Structure 1
Amino acid sequence: MNTLIVLTKTDLNRSLVRSKPFIFFSLGMPVGFYLLFTKVFNMGVSTEYMAVFYKESMIQMATYSVMISSLFSFSMTLIEDRKQGVKQFLRLSPIPESIYYASKVVTQFLINSLLLSVIFLVGHFVNGVQMPVIAWLTSAVWILYGCLPIVALATIVSLVKDPNTVSVLNNMILMPLAIVSGLWWPINMFPEVIQKIAAGLPTFYAAQGAKQLAEGQLPDGKGIVIIFIYFVGIMVLSIYLNGRKEEVKR
């Protein structure tokens, strides 16, 4: 347990204190876009709908923030550790590899929770978003669950050797996924074929389920299943690809 705590503290320090790009991309951009959408690009939104607009935009940008963090931060951390020989060191140390990966997951969970807290606070104090305490908590937990497939995807992206290539790849994945999932604009604005694609994406249900919880409703059961299937499927693929990479090295 002490080893897990030490590794987690080290990762938190590296991600939050030393990594200024992480702060900008994972937190600054979503908060900035949220304020831009709700304070500048709110023309045409009726006064009666404004409260709902503030709340739904907050949830969408919170989901987007967790997506950025889960994909960029997690993949780059794994790459940096590989370049620094951390995994080789672990094989020579008494620290189990499972503890190493557990610390990564715990760190990412804490970082994502921090991001959600900041955006929710901005939504509450700047735009006056009001929800019961249980709705705030369950919405946050659901977003964390809904973005688990993105965390799993980051383990695959981290297999790419060049960090610059990884950064480009992450952007190629993140932006289209966020747009098609309805995190930037309402999904009903898109053609029917795009709406059908969105209905099969875990990130669409990550935001959709959080919106339902914010209204005191239960998330769609279909969303629970789709998110779980994506997570398990991507993790199985990641384990296979990592195994193949280790075989090639030998």
Structure 2
Amino acid sequence: MNAILTQCKFEMIRIFRNPYFVFWSLFMPILFYFIFTNIVNTGVPDQGEWQAYYLMSMTTFSVMGSAIMNFGIRMVQEQTEGWSTFMKLTPFPSWAYFASKMFGQLIIHLLSIVIVFLAGYLINGVSLSVSQWIFSGIWVLIASIPFLALGSLVGTMKKVETASGVSNIIYLALAIVGGMWMPINTFPTFLQNIAEWLPSYHFGSGAWNIVQGTSPDWQSYLILIGYLIIFLLLAVSIRRKQEA
């Protein structure tokens, strides 16, 4: 257990030293939040509701980026540098190594949620009930797991450059089409139909529902669980082929 906790500690230190994490997971979401709630005139009549809505959008945007890019690219780096191979030669179990990476990443997600929530409160004085803060934070944390599975799929790539480029495209495409930058009701009909099947839309939708006083829709649970299974199966299948 001490070895796992130590590995988790090392994982978190490495993440905070990663410029990708600081830029994409903290700086960019907070910057976008400030711009679209204080500078850009969105024409929304209820500014308080818009500020809370967009805070959830940027929180999910932050966590999704950390899961896809930081987690995935870091796995590729460890593979290319031989660290993963070295860990297999140690007494440390493979399952414990992967579990510590997942746990460490989830702790980082929790810290990201707290930081972006705090930014929303400090920038716009976003006011939610205690239960809304807690349950929206829990939703974002737990619903980020399918994106960790997507990050592990990115982590099966052989080159860091390839993983970086692909993860950037996936991340931004999911964020934009999934309605994290702007509500999908502003999109053409065909894009709205696509968005409703994306994990990013249902990731954000659950948080949006909570701040509006309702619960995440059952479809969001099903679609996110479905993507989790698909991403995990693909990642495990590819890794087995690579090891063979």
Distance 2:94 2:39 in 1: 48
The answer on whether the counterparts of 1:135 and 1:213 sit within 8 Å (CA) in structure 2 is yes
Counterpart of 2:10 in structure 1 is: 10
Alignment deviations for residues 182-201 of structure 1 (CA, whole Å, 9 cap, x no partner): 10111101111111111111
Counterpart of 2:44 in structure 1 is: 45
AA matched with 1:89: F
Distance 1:45 1:199 in 2: 23
Q: Larger deviation: 33-42 or 207-216?
A: 207-216
**What's the TM-score once normalised by structure 2's chain length?**
0.96
Question: What RMSD in Å do the two structures reach over aligned CA positions?
Answer: 1.2
Partner SS state of residue 22, structure 2: helix
Aligned length: 244
Which runs of structure 2 are paired with 1:73-92 in the superposition (5 Å)?
73-92=70-89
The answer on whether the counterparts of 2:140 and 2:207 sit within 8 Å (CA) in structure 1 is yes
How has the CA–CA distance of structure 1 residues 241 and 125 changed in structure 2, closer, same or farther, with 3 Å as cutoff? Answer: same
Q: Which segments of 5 or more consecutive residues in structure 1 lack a partner in the other structure?
A: none
**What's the TM-score once normalised by structure 1's chain length?**
0.94
Q: Larger deviation: 19-28 or 179-188?
A: 19-28
AA matched with 2:121: H
Q: Which segments of 5 or more consecutive residues in structure 2 lack a partner in the other structure?
A: none
AA matched with 1:151: L
Deviation at 1:69, TM superposition (A): 0.4
Partner SS state of residue 219, structure 1: coil
Deviation at 1:87, TM superposition (A): 2.3
The answer on whether the counterparts of 2:80 and 2:159 sit within 8 Å (CA) in structure 1 is no
Aligned counterpart for 1:120 among listed residues 117, 122, 134? 117
Distance 1:169 1:214 in 2: 32
Deviation at 1:43, TM superposition (A): 4.4
Which runs of structure 2 are paired with 1:56-205 in the superposition (5 Å)?
56-205=53-202
Distance 2:124 2:211 in 1: 15
Aligned counterpart for 1:212 among listed residues 186, 209, 213? 209
Q: Larger deviation: 60-69 or 156-165?
A: 156-165
Deviation at 1:31, TM superposition (A): 0.4
AA matched with 1:26: S
